[in-house]
């Protein structure tokens, strides 16, 4: 191997290593900070690694706030919203692509208009609307407004436009009803795409902060991110406990991310480049 | 619009709903109608109810004097807009513009640079793509708290490093000149992985044989990038720019956790202003005026995308 190629590869590895370090170091900082004593964490001269890891910090942080309840709320919200988005997106995408009915074009434009209205622009009227419905601080208030997914409908439509129409025609000739054609012929084809979208939508819902913030203001109904921000405002200077609480919220997501990284990368690409 | 979409519209005009109107091409046609409406109904109804209705409320109420506890709001024309722009809102738009510009440069620059490195043929490099996903998927509140700790005055990581190098230390998040830079650093860290992933995908879409042909013609790495890869990724770069810009414009959680818009409004972005006016100060009129501004800015970005994409298609 020529020397110039070796040198070039060394530079590639060096730069990538540096970038990975920049990504990973804050998480490492969180972990070691969570295990420090009160004295260690505010001492600028203390070594990076705690002299004696304080594992009890984690238990102490967990006992100071209802993390179990927040986990439960986040899971209910994450699972229900994701299942809703996938279902409505799959159904609408299929109908817009392969079923014929009057007004299809107009209805598709209505569905797409959801992409043009960023949620952040309408947070005030959204909270007033949910207030009028009596849905503040409820699960339906968290879940129902998030069920329609314009992006999901759009992506599934693209997908089904690329599937052969002959499959459905053949099934119809065999006497299959329209719902059967969808369930037995076309829906199974979308399985890989459902997997890629499911994980990315779930993580988005799991990490959603702004929406719960404007719909929920009780401790009982808070999601994990909200709870963590409240925890921080109550224990402002107990940095080790704050980092321990952050650790508790980060680790499960990190495990999911590592296990499902291929689907996540696929989902990100699907959402932005198609 | 696609070919099938146009066909349907034509078919619809030729065959209005009713007894035996038009040739029946398929026995299951009426069944398909019902199923079609049933399948699109959830998406359409929920989009109208939770996107279009709030948008209408936003536009309408931005013209009325606001207050959550104001039960008989009066029409004030564009007063909310002038008040919003004259006071902190104008500054918030400036902060948002500055933040978004920095956000685009940092995350797209890092995305393209690291994308090119990850696209190299060095062994094992492709597997290094995965770590960049992590900051994207862990909760922003948690990572924001980590960065708040790293930016902390004496014992934070950044000040420890500065101290070790004998450089002056600073209280980043409380200093008017540095707070936005600190928030931007965190925001870019949190998001740049997405642009890395997207540029890797974009670079993969450039056919290898075209690149090899350029190599055979004697083009070095830079000329291959400048004359082959960059022009062939124009569409993806445009899409990446749109997503990045929209993300930057809607920056909120970073600000909420790290600075609450402070010190003295130095990091108050447009969306943070909406939240603060609407849910803390309870001046919904001004909050809605800024909401409209955010909506129009997002629309502008999307329109720019369509226009640029159309122009690029014509150029080809």
Q: CA A168 from chain center: how many Å?
A: 34
For residues A13-39, give the mean pLDDT. 92
Asked if A239 and B2 come within 8 Å (Cβ–Cβ), the reply is no
Alpha carbons B98 and B307: distance in angstroms, whole number: 24
Q: Is the peptide bond before B263 cis (omega within 30 degrees of 0)?
A: yes
Q: Percent of chain B having pLDDT more than 90? A: 52
The 10 Å CB-count burial string (b at 16+, else e) for B45-79 is ebbbebbbebbebbeebbbbbbeeeeeeeeebeeb
Helix extents (H) in chain A: 3-34, 38-41, 56-63, 67-98, 104-116, 123-132, 139-143, 150-161, 165-173, 178-180, 191-207, 210-215, 224-234, 239-259, 261-273
Alpha carbons A204 and A194: distance in angstroms, whole number: 15
Q: CA B58 from chain center: how many Å?
A: 20
Asked if A273 and B239 come within 8 Å (Cβ–Cβ), the reply is yes
From B32's Cα to the closest Cα of chain A, the distance in A is 6
Q: Decide if B281 touches A, using CB distance below 8 A.
A: no
Q: Decide if B138 touches A, using CB distance below 8 A.
A: yes
Chain A from 42 to 101: CB within 8 A of any B CB: 42-44, 46, 87-89, 91-92, 94-97, 99-101
Asked if A26 and B189 come within 8 Å (Cβ–Cβ), the reply is yes
Is B66 in contact with B281 (CB distance < 8 Å)?
no
Express each pLDDT in A157-215 by its tens digit.
Answer: 999 999 999 998 899 888 888 889 999 999 999 999 999 899 999 999 999 999 999 99
Chain B from 26 to 85: CB within 8 A of any A CB: 26, 28-29, 31-33, 35-40, 42-44, 46-55, 57-58, 61, 68
* Backbone region of residue B45 per phi and psi (left: phi > 0; alpha: psi in -120 to 50; beta: other values): alpha
Tell me, what DSSP letter sits at residue A208? -
Q: What is the maximum span of chain B, computed from C-alpha positions, in angstroms?
A: 87
Q: Decide if A268 touches B, using CB distance below 8 A.
A: yes
Chain A residue with CA closest to B10: the answer is A102
Alpha carbons B255 and A229: distance in angstroms, whole number: 12
What ipTM goes with this model?
Answer: 0.91
Alpha carbons A248 and B301: distance in angstroms, whole number: 38
Express each pLDDT in B168-213 by its tens digit.
Answer: 888 899 888 899 999 999 999 999 999 999 999 999 989 888 888 8
Q: Percent of chain A having pLDDT more than 90? A: 68
Which residues on chain A are in Cβ contact (under 8 Å) with B16? 102
Structural domains of chain B sorted by starting position, each given as residue range(s) with its CATH number in brackets: 28-61 (no CATH), 76-315 (1.10.3720.10)
For residues B208-233, give the mean pLDDT. 87
* Option in B132, B134, B253 nearest A254 (CB): B134
The 10 Å CB-count burial string (b at 16+, else e) for A203-240 is bbbbbbbbbbbbbbeeeebbbbbbbbbebbeebeebbb
User: Which residue's entry shows tokens 């927040």?
Assistant: A70
Is B44 in contact with A111 (CB distance < 8 Å)?
yes
Q: What is the pTM of this model?
A: 0.89
What per-residue confidence (pLDDT) applies to B64?
87
Tell which residue, B40, B218, B133, has the closest CA to residue A104.
B40
Alpha carbons B207 and B212: distance in angstroms, whole number: 9
Express each pLDDT in B229-279 by its tens digit.
Answer: 999 998 899 999 999 999 999 999 999 999 998 898 899 999 999 999 999
């Amino acid at each position: 191997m020529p020397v110039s190629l070796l040198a070039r590869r060394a530079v590639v590895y060096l730069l990538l290593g540096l970038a990975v370090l920049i990504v990973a170091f804050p998480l490492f900082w969180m972990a070691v900070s969570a295990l420090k004593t009160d004295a260690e964490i505010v001492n600028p001269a203390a070594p990076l690694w705690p002299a004696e890891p304080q594992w009890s910090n984690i238990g102490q942080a967990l006992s100071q706030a209802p993390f179990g309840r927040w986990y439960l709320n986040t899971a209910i919200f994450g699972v229900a919203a994701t299942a809703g988005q996938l279902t409505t997106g799959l159904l609408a995408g299929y109908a817009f692509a392969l079923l014929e009915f009057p007004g299809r074009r107009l209805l598709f434009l209505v569905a797409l208009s959801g992409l043009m209205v960023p949620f952040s622009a309408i947070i005030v009227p959204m909270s007033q609307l949910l207030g009028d419905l009596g849905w503040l601080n409820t699960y339906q208030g968290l879940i129902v407004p998030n069920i329609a997914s314009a992006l999901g409908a759009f992506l599934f439509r693209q997908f089904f436009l690329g599937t052969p129409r002959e499959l459905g025609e053949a099934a119809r000739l065999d006497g299959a009803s329209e719902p059967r054609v969808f369930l037995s012929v076309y829906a199974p084809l979308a399985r890989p795409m459902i997997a890629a979208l499911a994980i990315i939508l779930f993580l988005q819902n799991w990490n959603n902060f702004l929406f719960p913030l404007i719909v929920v203001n009780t401790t009982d109904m808070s999601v994990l991110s909200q709870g963590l921000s409240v925890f921080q405002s109550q224990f402002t200077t107990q940095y080790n406990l704050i980092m321990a609480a952050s650790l508790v919220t980060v680790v499960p997501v990190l495990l999911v991310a590592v296990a499902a990284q291929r689907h996540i990368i696929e989902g990100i690409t699907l959402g932005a480049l198609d | 619009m696609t070919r099938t979409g146009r066909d349907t519209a034509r078919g619809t005009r030729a065959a209005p709903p009713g007894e035996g109107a038009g040739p029946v091409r398929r026995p299951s046609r009426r069944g398909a109608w019902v199923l079609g409406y049933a399948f699109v109904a959830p998406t359409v109804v929920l989009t109208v109810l939770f996107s279009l209705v709030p948008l209408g409320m936003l536009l309408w109420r931005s013209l009325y004097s606001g207050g959550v506890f104001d039960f008989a709001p009066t029409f004030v024309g564009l007063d909310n807009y002038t008040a919003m722009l004259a006071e902190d809102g104008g500054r918030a738009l400036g902060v948002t513009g500055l933040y978004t510009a920095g956000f685009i440069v940092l995350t797209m620059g890092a995305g393209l640079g690291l994308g090119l490195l990850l696209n190299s043929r060095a062994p094992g490099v492709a597997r290094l793509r995965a770590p960049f996903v992590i900051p994207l998927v862990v909760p922003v509140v948690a990572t924001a708290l980590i960065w708040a700790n790293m930016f902390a005055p004496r014992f934070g990581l950044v000040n420890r490093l500065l101290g070790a190098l004998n450089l002056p230390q600073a209280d980043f998040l409380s200093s008017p000149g540095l707070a936005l830079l600190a928030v931007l650093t965190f925001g870019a860290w949190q998001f740049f992985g997405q642009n890395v992933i997207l540029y890797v995908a974009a670079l993969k879409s450039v056919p290898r044989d075209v690149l090899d042909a350029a190599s055979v013609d004697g083009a070095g790495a830079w000329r291959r990038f400048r004359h082959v890869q960059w022009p062939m990724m124009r569409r993806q770069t445009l899409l990446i720019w749109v997503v990045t810009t929209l993300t930057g414009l809607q920056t909120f959680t970073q600000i909420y956790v790290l600075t609450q818009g402070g010190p003295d409004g130095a990091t108050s972005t447009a969306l943070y202003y909406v939240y603060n006016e609407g849910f803390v100060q309870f001046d919904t009129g001004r909050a809605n005026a800024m909401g409209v501004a955010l909506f129009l800015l997002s629309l502008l970005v999307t329109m720019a995308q369509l226009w640029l994409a159309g122009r690029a298609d014509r150029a080809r």
